[in-house]
Structures are given as C-alpha cells and as structure tokens.
Structure 1
Amino acid sequence: MLDLLKIFIRNRKAAAGLLIVVFYVVVALAAPLITSHDPNKRVSRPHQPPSIEYSMGTTRMGRDVYTQLVWGTRTSLMVGILAGFIVTLIGTVVGLTAAYYGGATDETLNFATNVVLVLPQLPLLLVLAAFLGQVGPLAIAVIIGLTSWAWGARVTRAQAMTLKNREFIQASELIGEPVWRMILVEMLPNLLSIICFNFIGSVIFTIITQATLEFLGLGDPLSVSWGTMLYNANNASAITVGAWWEMAAPCAAIVLIGIGLSLLNFGVDEISNPRLRTLGAIGKAMKLQKRLDRERLMEKEA
C-alpha cells in the first residue's frame, strides 16, 4: 500500500487528482464538524452576498450557501461512488464471464451488452426518472448504475480475452485450477488498471448526470446536493437578480471534482501503461536537451 502511494505521489497528474479527491472526501465526512447548522435552515435575509459571516452568501430562502455546498458534497459523492461501484461490479462480472467461458455464454452476454450500448443513455435516464417521479439520490445512483455498465463490460471483456490466451493462464488450466481461482487470482489482478479506469470514469459521469437530472427537476427537491442547489438557484432566477454566488458555488464544485477525478484517471493510466511512461520519459529528455542547447547557445553568444 505504501509503495502504491509513493508511485502516485511521483506522478504529478495522479498526485494532483488524488489531492483534490481526498479534499472532497474529507469535506464530505467532516460535514457535521465544519458546519454549524442544518443546510435547510433559514439563517439570514434572502440573497445576501458573500461576507465574513456567510462566506458564500445566502439563497433566496435565506439559507447558507456554504452549508448547503458542504452537505451537498456528501450527497453527490455518495451517489457517484455508489453508482460507480454498481457499474464497475456489473461490467467486471459480465466482461470476465463472457471472456472466460466463451461460446453461447459469450454470445448471450455480448448481445445484452450491445443492446444496452445502443440505447440513448441520457434520454433513457430522463424517461426513467420522469416515470418514477421525483426520485431521491439513492434511486438516482441505482438507476445510473443499472443503465451504464455496458461500456465497462465491453472493455473488460476485450482485455480478459487477451489474458485468456496467455501462457500462465493456459498453464493454470492444465494443472486443474478451479474456475473461481482462475478468474479471481489469475485474471482479475491483471485487470485492475481497467477496473480503476472504469470506476473513476463512472463516478465522473454519475456526478454530472445526477446534477443534470436534478437541475431539470427530476430529483428530490428536499435533498441537498449540487444538483438541487442548481435547481433552486435556477428557479430563483439567481443570475438574473445578480445572486451569482448561488449558481457559482455548485458549478465550481462540480468542475473541480471533475478535474480531480480526470487527473487521477490520467495518472492511473500512465502508471499502469508502460508505453505512456516511456513517452513521458522521452518528453522530459527532449525538454532537457532543448534547455541544454539554449544554454550552450547563450554561452557562445556571450
């Protein structure tokens, strides 16, 4: 674990992304400690600008934007992580099963994956959310998780099929290892980079999709999340009346967590892909060579 952390710290993208994500996780876990009242409590007059007392201003209902942002971080991260776990679990199980067993099993699971892939995802989510009515954060996480696993399953299946033909897998089959050990011990550890990539990408997608659904009024308006903050700010015409802070706070939070997760995703890809590591080393060497050439040219001119 310590060695893995050192590898992440050495990679600038992974380190920066991990720092941002850890910050959000700490804020979510420490929400009761860093806020002093309920996020839905009216604490001041409507649309008060940022001040010393209320660092991010207040909403049209006189609620503290900072408190709502902190508690909204907990809700949005919970939805993103839960949906990401569901997507990754289903995609990994389907992909590994299809690749290992092949034949009719592969054809059946591949057909199901193709059906889910061709369905227009956002319209499907809008229809499901509208059919269910105003759904809470937990229901949104489950809906996204059950409709977004196909891409991860396709990638996992492709990678697992290449592993199945490796010599160490064939040797394990010859000595009679059980199926569960072949999948969990021999194949799964070699797919960790793909699984991490799938999980992080799913979390990013879920956070943005949840905010979209709630902004359109398909979420529970009584819950506190970044999406409901945008929904309430839009209903209050916050930008029109000059209360930009009510819209800016959740937008900035979504953008920053997206940047952090993307950097973490790129970092994981570079760490797990030797080719990308080599290209990075070549790029650094070329930059060093250019700098040395400039220094030599300056010395000659002097």
Structure 2
Amino acid sequence: MRIFRSPKVVIGLCLLAFFLLLALVGPLVAPHAPDWQANTTSGVPQPPSSDFWFGSTQKQEDVFSQVLAGGRDTLLISLLAGLLASVLSILVGVTAGYFGGVVDDLLSMLSNIFLALPGLLILMVVMKPLPPQDTSNPFLIGGVIALTAWAWGARVLRAQTLSLRNQDYVESARVIGERSPRIIVFEILPNLLPILASSFIFTVIYGIGAYVSLTWLGVIGVPSGVVTWGTMLNVSQASGALISGWWWWYVPPALCVAGVGIALALLNFGIDEIVNPRLTSARTGRGSGIKFRLGLTPVVQSASTKGDAK
C-alpha cells in the first residue's frame, strides 16, 4: 500500500505499536505492583540501579513498575476520546456540509462556540466537582474530553463535504432515488476516510495531553494502588523531585507521553503528505530541481572548456 511507503508512517506505526504493547502487557510483566514498597528505612528516592532499573520514589516504590502500569489508562482514555470525538465530528460536520442552509448555519454556529471555549478550563470545571468513583471511570473521562475535542474535526469535514455534495456521483445517487443517509454513508464518507484518520489521530493527541494535564494538576484522582503517567508527574512534583534533582522519578513518564505524541504526530504528518497532493508535489519538485541543476553542470563546464580551447 502507498501509505506504508512513507518513512514517517512506518516509524510512527512502530512507535505506536510499542506503546500499545506496553499498555497491554506492561501491568502483567511489571516486577512489582505500582504501590509496592521496598523494605528499607531510607526516605530518599534511589537512583537507577540493579534493584531499581528506573530508580525509586520517596516511598521506595519501583518507578519502572509504575511506568509499565501507568500507560494503560492513559492510552485507553485518549483512544476513547478520539473515537467519540470522531463520531461527533461526523454527525455534525458531514450533516452540516451535506444539507446546507439553516442546518449548516445552526451546526456551524455550534461548532464555532465549542471552538471558542477554552478546552482545558472547561474540563477542569466539569471534572473537579465529580466524586472520585466517577473520575476513575475511563468512559466518562473519555466522553468529557471528547466534548471539547470534536469541533475542529467537524469544521474540516464540513468544508470537505461542501466540495463533495455536488459531485457527479452524488448527483447520480440522488437522481436514482437514494436517500440522504445512504448517500452520506456510501458515497461521501468513503471519500473522507483519509481526513477522518487524520482527525482521529489529532484528537487522540489532544486526549493524551488533556488527560495527562488533568491528572498532573490533580483535577482527576485515581483509586488507591493505581497510577498513570500523569499521577507520577503530579506526585514527583509535589515531592520536590524537580528541585532535588531526582530526575529518574519524572523523566520516564514524561518521555513516554512525548513518545506517544511523536508517534501519532508522525502518523498524522505522513497521512497528510499522502492525502495532500501539494505537499507531495512540492517535495518532488525540490528533488527534481536539484537533479536538473546537477545535470546541467557538466554541460556548462564542457562548453567553457571548448571556449578556452578555441
């Protein structure tokens, strides 16, 4: 397939597969439970060693085990948020673009309102009053994050649907009597799949950033004995790890969050280059221009040499 010829897509898929595998089997292969504590009286975090591969926390908890166990909720919630936001984007954006008129005006106004709202602030206001048993529900958290993440994708899908609704194959479907839902599902949506994939990836990136930020700030709590990459950053900051130089406490979860973001960003850039012909032609044009100039160099040199000989 053409998509797998892009180095960005291949590297992004490999990185993403690694972190997904880490989220699935990490808690099963972790040496210890996330809240396990070593039998020692030391109250100082220990640096990486043979006993603690990634060091220990102030309570002598194994950072390596916490990193392995902390990715499951983070990736699960971000994927749920991306899926739900994509469904909302399709319902609002494609409907607005296809029907137009008053429907388009109302749905576009709704999208603009959600685009204008500060997403992280809204999440903090909504999530903070909820009881702990609700904030530990990944479906609830993913749904709330999706409510602040769907508007951008809806605007993109609306713009693309506006350009597709008057195409010949769509008009032919109307002429033979196909209903609007069938036209949207079988005629328009297949042509929006690359944009949907890019929108989904972008929303997952937003979901990871939002969930890690909320847990880092302490807005979302987790049950006792459960850790996430965000709560690891929260506890390390509250314990003065940044000031005391205990880098092994906060660097591993931060690198994991950054690694997932890089993997998804590479996928997004790779898909964008394949879908957008301008990026592909620009990249090809630069390469062909270099070859053209290099090809002329020997000709110019040979001409000057003949002139000197005369």
Q: Same fold (TM over 0.5)?
A: yes
Of 7, 11, 24, 1:12 maps to: 7
Alignment of 1:259-274 (within 5 A): 259-274=262-277
Aligned twin of 2:308: none
Aligned twin of 1:220: 221
Alignment of 1:161-240 (within 5 A): 161-222=162-223, 223-240=226-243
Q: Distance in 2 between matches of 1:57 and 1:298?
A: 63
**The structure with more radius of gyration:** 2
Alignment of 1:60-139 (within 5 A): 60-134=58-132, 135-136=135-136, 138=138, 139=140
* Letter of the structure 2 residue corresponding to residue 234 of structure 1: Q
Give CA deviations for 1:213-238 in whole Å, capped at 9, x if unaligned.
Answer: 11111111433111111011111111
> Which TM-score applies when normalising by structure 1?
0.90
Residues 14/288 of structure 1: CA separation in 2 closer, same or farther (3 Å cut):
farther
Q: Distance in 2 between matches of 1:145 and 1:12?
A: 30
Give identity over the alignment, percent. 36
* Contact 2:36 2:61 (C-alpha < 8 Å) held by counterparts: yes
Give CA deviations for 1:110-165 in whole Å, capped at 9, x if unaligned.
Answer: 22222212212221111112222552261332211122211111111111111001
Indicate yes or no: 2:242 matched with 1:247.
no
Q: Distance in 2 between matches of 1:221 and 1:235?
A: 16
Q: Please, which moves more after superposition, 220-229 or 156-165?
A: 220-229
Q: Which runs of 5+ in 2 are unaligned?
A: 305-310
Q: Distance in 2 between matches of 1:96 and 1:33?
A: 42
What secondary structure sits across from 1:245 in the alignment?
helix
Aligned twin of 2:35: 40
Q: Distance in 2 between matches of 1:150 and 1:246?
A: 36
Deviation of the 1:191 alpha carbon: 0.6
Give CA deviations for 1:158-186 in whole Å, capped at 9, x if unaligned.
Answer: 11111001111111111111222201110
* Letter of the structure 2 residue corresponding to residue 252 of structure 1: L
What secondary structure sits across from 1:240 in the alignment?
helix
* Letter of the structure 2 residue corresponding to residue 230 of structure 1: L
Q: Which runs of 5+ in 1 are unaligned?
A: none
Aligned-residue CA RMSD in angstroms?
Answer: 2.4
* Letter of the structure 2 residue corresponding to residue 153 of structure 1: A
* Contact 1:79 1:137 (C-alpha < 8 Å) held by counterparts: no
* Letter of the structure 2 residue corresponding to residue 216 of structure 1: L
Residues 99/298 of structure 1: CA separation in 2 closer, same or farther (3 Å cut):
same
* Contact 1:126 1:213 (C-alpha < 8 Å) held by counterparts: yes
Q: Please, which moves more after superposition, 273-282 or 55-64?
A: 273-282
* Contact 1:44 1:63 (C-alpha < 8 Å) held by counterparts: no
Residues 137/264 of structure 1: CA separation in 2 closer, same or farther (3 Å cut):
farther
Q: Distance in 1 between matches of 2:167 and 2:68?
A: 48
What secondary structure sits across from 1:36 in the alignment?
coil
Residues 292/251 of structure 1: CA separation in 2 closer, same or farther (3 Å cut):
farther
Deviation of the 1:36 alpha carbon: 2.8
Deviation of the 1:289 alpha carbon: 4.8
> Which TM-score applies when normalising by structure 2?
0.88
What secondary structure sits across from 2:58 in the alignment?
coil
* Letter of the structure 2 residue corresponding to residue 8 of structure 1: I
Aligned twin of 2:48: 50
